[in-house]
Chain A
Amino acid sequence: MKDHYQPFLIGSQFRVLPPDCPVPQDDKINLLMERGAFGSGEHETTDSCLKCLEQLPLSGNEKILDLGSGTGILALAALRLGGGHVWCIDIDAGAVQTCRTNCRLNQLGPQVDHLCGTLDDLTTGDFDLVLANIYGDILLQVAKQLVEKTRSGGLLLLSGILWEYNFDVRQTYARLGCEVLENRMLSEFSTVLLKKT
């Protein structure tokens, strides 16, 4: 079932709107999404992630991983910002289906691979950019795998990290050879941008 929702702005450059909504012609990047509803925390952390993503130089050749892709908003945004190809993974089959639909709605289907599962199921690696907007405890659990999937010099944009996990996440990824480039503390969540050295 499609959710009916009002278009909203997110990040500094994006507007999310339902598929049947007239698309405004302005300087915003429009993302058509079947489901626009986020929980309040999820909205905050997605917003933060997008703002961080907007600052990254994307050339069109990047190999991007979106772990816990959900609706696919980060993957879509990364592609709209000029990213190359995204591998979306989510453990939830419903989320994968929604993500697939959203990619198609935005005519970005060919640039996205979908996988229902975990990092264990992902056969490719050497990602230039890893996006993971998932809980901090999961980020800690998958830290080693996630860093291994990233090429040297690649970036990891981690969000959805509750305050209490922020330090542990930064410390864990730093010990795995990552350098913290940015640490955004939000009202309840945090976003961390790292570079694998």
Chain B
Amino acid sequence: MTPAVSILLPVRNEEQHLPATLRSLQRQTLGDWELIAVDDGSQDQTPKILAAAAATDDRIRLFRQPPQGLVAALNFGLDKCRAAFVARIDGDDIAHPQRLALQLAALQQDPTLTLVASRVRHFPRPQLQGGMHAYERWQNSHLQHADIMRDLYVESPFAHPSVMYRRQVILACGGYRDAGWAEDYDLWLRLALQGERFERLPQTLLYWRDRPERLTRTAENCTLEAFRACKAHYLRQDVLAATKQVTLWGAGQEGKAWRKALQKQQIEVGCWIDIDRNKIGQTIHHARVLSPDQYRAKDKILVTVGAKGARQLIRDWCRENRLLEGQDFLCVT
């Protein structure tokens, strides 16, 4: 029998937290699932923990392979998933007991949806840094497809272990790719590019464990530079298709880093917009820095200012100047 949901768990050396993850899956109100656990060359007790769980719960299917990395493990596991719907989880996270039921219901009720995420909550929180608090708030504030799409290039919109998606769509899209940046953001952007629809459930259904050695912090493909490269790559195929020159709002370090990322996509900076009086009037990399009032060009504007509150002010200015978000300007930081 094909289960209703396949849970995709790539895992390596998670002996400490894996039992809690497994228990949270076994507590699901929806019991019709299979767990595809791909052990990617663990050297600790992870295989034993999984084998013991599989011995007493035939919904758990264990696959072992030599260490090949996350993308290979994800694609291998995706291939083993039998259900039409796949829920991701990592070996240190906790799923709310209604997670599978609610996400499955949402996807079944709306055939136009490809992916349903949920709100997430980091834990433990005492040592959680400000940036992660802000990211959690930002992510959780985007529920509807239009909101998610509007800020698609600001940050990766979904915690990977919080999503459930249609397996066939992901396979048809090429599955996971190792392109030198985060494999999940790469997938979301590819899906968006082909017009797939997303939604986030308002319930907090995934508890996202934070710890110093977390991949988001340590992996080379999760650096700010890698994220910019990823965004520039997809912007080139999306809003910036056939665009040779843009305006960058923000002539600080982030803006300059963006200039480099865009240059690799053969996109030049025509001018900069900034409100810093010390910068206005300067020429940076052959492009003038203008104040918003001085700006008259018609190039598309990429907003690289991420300071708290600034994005909304810039959005307001753009709207007052009849610029359409997603077409004439886009927030990318």
Residues of A at the B interface (CB closer than 8 Å) are 137, 140, 162-165, 167-168, 171, 185
Contact = CB atoms under 8 A, between A and B. Distances in A.
Contacts of B126: 137
Nearest to A137: B124
Interface residues on B, range: 10 to 19
Contacts of A164: 94, 121, 123, 207, 209
B15 to A, nearest CB: 12
Nearest to B93: A164
* A-B pairs with lowest CB-CB distance, top 4: A164-B207, A167-B20, A164-B123, A164-B94
Contact of B20 (A137, A140, A168, A185): A168
B20 to A, nearest CB: 4
A167 B124 contact: no
Given A167-B19, A167-B23, A171-B19, 20 more contacts: A137-B123, A137-B124, A137-B125, A137-B126, A140-B124, A162-B123, A162-B207, A163-B94, A163-B97, A163-B207, A164-B121, A164-B123, A164-B209, A165-B124, A167-B24, A167-B94, A168-B20, A171-B20, A185-B27, A185-B97
A137 B126 CA distance: 8
B124 A163 contact: no
B96 interface: yes
Interface of B: 19-20, 23-24, 27, 94, 96-97, 121, 123-126, 207, 209
A12 to B, nearest CB: 24
Provide the main secondary structure of the chain A interface: helix
Nearest to A168: B20
Contacts of A167: 19-20, 23-24, 94
Contacts of B207: 162-164
Given A137-B124, A137-B125, A163 B20 contact: no
A140 B126 CA distance: 12
